[in-house]
Chains A and B, each alone.
Chain A
Amino acid sequence: MASKYLALPKGVSEARFDAAIKKFTAALGKDNVLTSGEHLQPYTKVMMAVETEKHIPSAIVMATTVEQVQAVVKICNEYKIPVWTISTGRNFGYGSAAPVERGQIVLDLRKMNKIIHIDPELCTALVEPGVTYQQLYDYIEDNKLPLMLSFSAPSAIAGPVGNTMDRGVGYTPYGEHFLMQCGMEVVLANGDVYRTGMGGVKGDKAWQVFKWGYGPTLDGMFTQSNYGICTKMGFWLMPKPPVFKPFEIKFDNEADISEIVEMLRPLRIAQIIPNAVVIAGTLWEAATCNTRRSDYITTPGHTPDHIVKQIQKDKHLGAWNVYAALYGSPEQVEVNWKIVTETIKKAGKGRIVTQEEAGDTQPFKYRAQLMSGVPNLQEFGLYNWRGGGGSMWFAPVSQARGSECDKQVKLAKTILNKHGLDYVGEFIVGWRDMHHVIDVLFDRSSEEETKRANACFAELLDEFEKEGYAVYRVNTAFQERVANSYGPVKRKLEKTIKRALDPNGILAPGKSGIRI
């Protein structure tokens, strides 16, 4: 007999699920427990190259307080219901809001959206999971606070808790978001409410200023994991500098990439350039200034090099386009600008573009906004490159060395092109590391192309792994696979911790490949 639910949790009968739903409803109110197809639909919108059916939740429960989160966890334990928690659910290209496995319920914390405090003197914030960057930005602007946000590209609709819990990055000097996190409140599987750092000390005021507390520092354990549900997070905000000077350096040849990294790494490590340096390829740039592939070519398959060169010429782009910024007093910026320009001059290649020269043109404008904490959604232009709503981020990590770039670009491009897809990528030079972020874009409305994209992504993971590279984060369809890249000892330890903290395995089983 067909179930009245779109999906059921693995091993849970409909009658048992009925009983659990009744309890969720009693705890949260009927408006906060959703099971209809109409209500579940937005949670099923994924961009990954797998069938939607594989990631359909059985129900949505929405909590607005820590006590309600505790109640949800209690019911999940009682009925052995797996629960996938989202904050704003905007992890596009990594799984969006859908659970890692069909049938898990989604605990949606979007309505838990209080900015608990922002301290403009200590430059700290404490927020709930549903707070968005746009909401924070509006608060800072409305209250004229001298502070600046750092966020990922879907800034207007994403939020700091989810991004930080997934160890996402941004584009300001505070762009390594987990590094700037300070104090977490976590509901554990047994219902305990645990505060990291100084948070457990009665009367303490240092929770958002001192990260380490006493004894083991466990914050990292809760990121990219399923050991607890974060219900509050503290983090540091950068004081708004008197001068912000964004700039771009355009390089004409693909072969310049090694030299670019060698040239800029010393400036980055020495903090002359204090934010993550981005080195974006031609097609990334083209897509984010609203160029569609169909403007140039309509035949299927990858875009030939001569077309990419034509786009580069038509749109006045570089083969590589470096973005960075200087922040500080006029004197500081002046000195550092001199160092940057002399470095470029000495290299004898690369054309510098300043904000004054770029004016309001894209993609410079949105890059400058990202580097100065102004929310926008311009990078969604990437999704229009090929169209059809398919996107999976492939993001291998490497040392910040020129030789790594050349090798990775060639390998990635060969595999992507083999599967009829394009290399749309950028390097983000963190500090000593690089995230090579490649958007595997495909037409999800085509079953055939979706299959190719899936095979392509699997091959990227395999071939990069052979060269000693692994990704720092991955979509939910490939989390089990990527867990293996990091070796059996890590997996065994993670399982041991999981069994100790969550013996029923109710919290997001399968997240990062972790299960009891």
Chain B
Amino acid sequence: MSNGNRISTRAVPGVLLAALLAVPAMSASAEGTAEISRGQQYYEKICAKCHEAGIGPVLLGRGLPEVIFTTIPRSGLRAMPAFRVSDIDDATLQSLAKYLANSKPKP
């Protein structure tokens, strides 16, 4: 159990939101290992169904910081649903964030 603070109506800092919705930038980061992480698996199974279908913004190869990918899924954003700790635990979300932050654009 952890005790409370007030809920933020705008959990996502404006600067992060602006970065996410901006025109994709090329990623300078290299993809790490060939092994598929739990985060990548989650992305491909769930997130890609919107974010590679023209519904949510493209996430791969944007060079966005990990914090975006650990913050926005938890709060949801506009049409995007929130993902609870029971949907994706902190470790998997961190792995997902690492994967996306270091991803290359899709060819």
> Of A40, A52, A290, which contacts B54 at CB under 8 A?
A290
A384 to B56, CA, bound (A): 9
Which residues of A268-302 are within 8 A (CB) of B? 290
**Is the CB of A79 closer than 8 A to any CB of chain B?**
no
**Is the CB of A38 closer than 8 A to any CB of chain B?**
yes
Given contacts A44-B7, A88-B87, A387-B78, 9 further A-B contacts (CB under 8 A): A6-B4, A37-B8, A42-B74, A42-B75, A89-B84, A97-B84, A134-B46, A380-B56, A444-B78
**Is the CB of B106 closer than 8 A to any CB of chain A?**
no
A134 to B88, CA, bound (A): 14
Residue-wise, chain B 48-69 has the 8 Å CB interface mask toward A (1 for contact) of 0110011110000000000000
Asked, given contacts A62-B86, A375-B49, whether A384 binds B1 with beta carbons under 8 Å apart, the answer is no
Once A and B bind, how many residue pairs between them come within 8 Å at the CB atom? 117
Residues on B with C-beta less than 8 A from A389 are 76-80
Residues on B with C-beta less than 8 A from A45 are 75-76, 81-82
A388 to B80, CA, bound (A): 10
A35 to B7, CA, bound (A): 11
A43 to B81, CA, bound (A): 10
**Is the CB of B33 closer than 8 A to any CB of chain A?**
no
Is B3 touching A36 in the complex (CB atoms < 8 A)? yes
A477 to B86, CA, bound (A): 25
Size class of the B contact interface (CB-based, 8 Å): 20 to 34
> Of B9, B79, B80, B81, which contacts A52 at CB under 8 A?
B9
User: Number of A residues whose C-beta is below 8 Å from B?
Assistant: 51
20 chain-A/chain-B pairs, Cβ below 8 angstroms: A3-B4, A4-B4, A5-B4, A6-B7, A21-B1, A35-B4, A36-B3, A36-B4, A38-B74, A39-B2, A40-B7, A41-B8, A96-B81, A108-B84, A110-B84, A110-B87, A156-B49, A157-B46, A157-B81, A384-B55
Q: Write the chain B residue with the least CB distance to A383.
A: B79
8 shortest A-B CB distances, which residue pairs?
A: A383-B79, A42-B82, A110-B86, A45-B82, A389-B78, A45-B76, A377-B49, A290-B54
Is B6 touching A37 in the complex (CB atoms < 8 A)? yes
Asked, given contacts A41-B11, A111-B86, A290-B55, whether A445 binds B78 with beta carbons under 8 Å apart, the answer is yes
Which residues of B76-104 are within 8 A (CB) of A? 76-87
Interchain nearest-CB distance for B17 vs A (Å): 11
Q: Which of B77, B85, B86 has the most CB of A within 10 A?
A: B86
A36 to B53, CA, bound (A): 34
Q: Which of A4, A6, A90, A383 has the most CB of B within 10 A?
A: A383
A37 to B11, CA, bound (A): 10
A52 to B76, CA, bound (A): 13
A6 to B3, CA, bound (A): 10
> Of B4, B84, B86, which contacts A37 at CB under 8 A?
B4
> Of A3, A35, A108, A444, which contacts B86 at CB under 8 A?
A108
